[in-house]
Structure 1
Amino acid sequence: MLNFPTWKVALISVTLIWGGLLALPNLFSDGFLGIEPRVTDSYDPVAVAAYEQQMQAARESWWPGVLPNSKVNLGLDLQGGVYLLMDIDPEEVASNRLETVLRDIQISLNRRPNIVREGVPEVVDGRINIRLKNPEQDMDEAIRRLQRINPTVGQTQIKLMSIERGASGTIRVSVPESARSALASDAQGKMMEIIRRRVDPDGVAEVSITPQGDSRIILEAPGEADPRRIKELLGRAGRLTFNMADITASAINVAQQTGRARPGWELVDTAEGAAVLIRKIPELTGSDITSANRGFDQANRPAVNFRLNGAAASKFYNLTARNRGDYFAIVLDGVSMSSPRINEPIPGGNVQITGSFTPEEADDLAAIIEAGELPAKLNFIEERTVGPGLGQESITAGSRASIIGLFLVGCFMIASFGLIGVFAVGSLLANIVLILGGLSGFGATLTLPGIAGIILTIGMAVDANVIVFERIREEQSAGRSPSSAIQAGYERALSAILDANITTFIAALILYLIGSGPVKGFAVTLAIGIVTSVFTAFVVTRWFTVLYVRKFRPKRLAM
Structure 2
Amino acid sequence: MLQFPAWKICLILGIMLWGTMMALPNVVNMSGAPAGVPKQGVNLGLDLQGGVYLMMEINPDEVVANRLEVFAIDVRNALGNKDGKPLIGHLSTVEGRTLNIELTRPDADGKFPMDEALTRIRKLNSSVEGAIGGAKTYEVEPAGPALIKVTVPATAEEALMKDALAKTMTIVRRRVDPEGVSEISITPQGNSRIILEAPGEPDATRLKNLLSRDGKMTFNLVESSPSAIAAAEKGVVKPGYRLLSGPQTGQLLVRNIPEVTGADIATASQGYDDGNRPQINFRLNGNGAAKFYQTTRNNSGKLFAIVLDDTIMSAPRINEPIPGGSVRITGDFTLEEAQDLAAIIEAGEMPAKVQFLDQRTVSATLGQDSIRAGIRASLIGLALVAIFMILAYGLMGIFAVGSLAANIILIVGALSGLGATLTLPGIAGIILTIGMAVDANVLVFERIREEQRAGRSPLTAVQAGYERALSTILDANITTFIAAAILYLLGSGPVKGFAVTLAIGIVTSVFTAFVLTRWFTVMWLKGFKPKKFAL
How is 1:38-77 mapped onto 2 (pairs within 5 angstroms)? 62-77=32-47
> 1 CA distance for matches of 2:77 and 2:261?
16
Does the 8 A contact of 1:166 with 1:172 survive in 2?
Answer: yes
> 1 CA distance for matches of 2:388 and 2:53?
41
Query: What is the deviation of 1:152?
Result: 4.7
Does the 8 A contact of 2:249 with 2:312 survive in 1?
Answer: no
* Residue 375 of structure 1: aligned partner: 351
Q: Is residue 497 of structure 2 the alignment partner of residue 521 of structure 1?
A: yes
Q: Is residue 114 of structure 2 the alignment partner of residue 114 of structure 1?
A: no
Query: What is the deviation of 1:264?
Result: 1.9
Does the 8 A contact of 1:252 with 1:275 survive in 2?
Answer: no
Q: Is residue 115 of structure 2 the alignment partner of residue 131 of structure 1?
A: no
Does the 8 A contact of 1:154 with 1:183 survive in 2?
Answer: no
* Residue 203 of structure 1: aligned partner: 180
How is 1:163-312 mapped onto 2 (pairs within 5 angstroms)? 163-258=140-235, 260-272=236-248, 274-312=250-288
Does the 8 A contact of 2:249 with 2:315 survive in 1?
Answer: no
Query: What is the deviation of 1:341?
Result: 2.4
TM-score (norm 2): 0.95
SS at match of 2:497: helix
Query: What is the deviation of 1:95?
Result: 1.0
> 1 CA distance for matches of 2:333 and 2:305?
18
Does the 8 A contact of 2:216 with 2:309 survive in 1?
Answer: yes
* Residue 18 of structure 2: aligned partner: 18
Does the 8 A contact of 1:103 with 1:281 survive in 2?
Answer: no
Deviation track 1:8-40 (CA, whole Å, cap 9, x = no partner) reads 011101111110111011003xxx322xxxxxx
SS at match of 1:121: strand
Does the 8 A contact of 1:447 with 1:522 survive in 2?
Answer: yes
> 2 CA distance for matches of 1:372 and 1:158?
29
* Residue 160 of structure 1: aligned partner: 137
**Which residue among 121, 129, 146 is the counterpart of 2:121?**
146
Does the 8 A contact of 1:116 with 1:134 survive in 2?
Answer: no
> 2 CA distance for matches of 1:13 and 1:361?
52
> 1 CA distance for matches of 2:153 and 2:245?
34
Q: Is residue 333 of structure 2 the alignment partner of residue 392 of structure 1?
A: no
- The residue identity in structure 1 corresponding to 2:228 is A
> 2 CA distance for matches of 1:244 and 1:102?
21
Query: What is the deviation of 1:137?
Result: 4.4
324-333 vs 476-485, greater mean Cα deviation: 324-333
Does the 8 A contact of 2:264 with 2:284 survive in 1?
Answer: yes
- The residue identity in structure 2 corresponding to 1:383 is Q
**Which residue among 51, 56, 71 is the counterpart of 1:81?**
51
The alpha-carbon distance between structure 1 residues 353 and 153, as it changes in their structure 2 partners (threshold 3 A), is: farther
TM-score (norm 1): 0.91
Deviation track 1:263-315 (CA, whole Å, cap 9, x = no partner) reads 22211122336211222222221111110011233544322111111122112
- The residue identity in structure 1 corresponding to 2:374 is G
The alpha-carbon distance between structure 1 residues 138 and 324, as it changes in their structure 2 partners (threshold 3 A), is: farther
Does the 8 A contact of 2:389 with 2:400 survive in 1?
Answer: yes
Query: What is the deviation of 1:254?
Result: 2.1
- The residue identity in structure 2 corresponding to 1:230 is L
Does the 8 A contact of 1:302 with 1:358 survive in 2?
Answer: yes
SS at match of 1:104: helix
Does the 8 A contact of 2:98 with 2:151 survive in 1?
Answer: yes
SS at match of 2:361: strand
> 1 CA distance for matches of 2:299 and 2:151?
34
How is 1:308-347 mapped onto 2 (pairs within 5 angstroms)? 308-347=284-323
Query: What is the deviation of 1:6?
Result: 0.7
> 2 CA distance for matches of 1:14 and 1:470?
30
The alpha-carbon distance between structure 1 residues 176 and 342, as it changes in their structure 2 partners (threshold 3 A), is: farther
Does the 8 A contact of 1:240 with 1:332 survive in 2?
Answer: yes
> 2 CA distance for matches of 1:516 and 1:248?
58
Does the 8 A contact of 1:102 with 1:281 survive in 2?
Answer: no
The alpha-carbon distance between structure 1 residues 244 and 177, as it changes in their structure 2 partners (threshold 3 A), is: farther
- The residue identity in structure 2 corresponding to 1:129 is N
279-288 vs 519-528, greater mean Cα deviation: 279-288
Does the 8 A contact of 1:161 with 1:173 survive in 2?
Answer: yes
Does the 8 A contact of 1:252 with 1:267 survive in 2?
Answer: no
SS at match of 1:306: strand
Does the 8 A contact of 1:242 with 1:283 survive in 2?
Answer: yes
Query: What is the deviation of 1:173?
Result: 2.1
> 1 CA distance for matches of 2:436 and 2:366?
29
**Which residue among 453, 477, 480 is the counterpart of 1:504?**
480
SS at match of 1:489: helix
Does the 8 A contact of 1:70 with 1:441 survive in 2?
Answer: no
* Residue 2 of structure 2: aligned partner: 2
The alpha-carbon distance between structure 1 residues 114 and 341, as it changes in their structure 2 partners (threshold 3 A), is: farther
281-290 vs 3-12, greater mean Cα deviation: 281-290
Task: Let me know the Cα RMSD of the aligned residues.
Answer: 1.7
394-403 vs 487-496, greater mean Cα deviation: 394-403
Q: Is residue 467 of structure 2 the alignment partner of residue 491 of structure 1?
A: yes
SS at match of 1:68: coil
Q: Is residue 523 of structure 2 the alignment partner of residue 551 of structure 1?
A: no
Does the 8 A contact of 2:30 with 2:38 survive in 1?
Answer: no
- The residue identity in structure 1 corresponding to 2:473 is I
Structure 2: runs of 5+ lacking an equivalent: none
SS at match of 1:92: helix
Query: What is the deviation of 1:390?
Result: 1.0
Q: Is residue 74 of structure 2 the alignment partner of residue 104 of structure 1?
A: yes
Q: Is residue 87 of structure 2 the alignment partner of residue 90 of structure 1?
A: no
SS at match of 1:183: helix
- The residue identity in structure 2 corresponding to 1:125 is G
Query: What is the deviation of 1:498?
Result: 0.3
**Which residue among 30, 34, 47 is the counterpart of 1:33?**
30
> 2 CA distance for matches of 1:155 and 1:273?
47
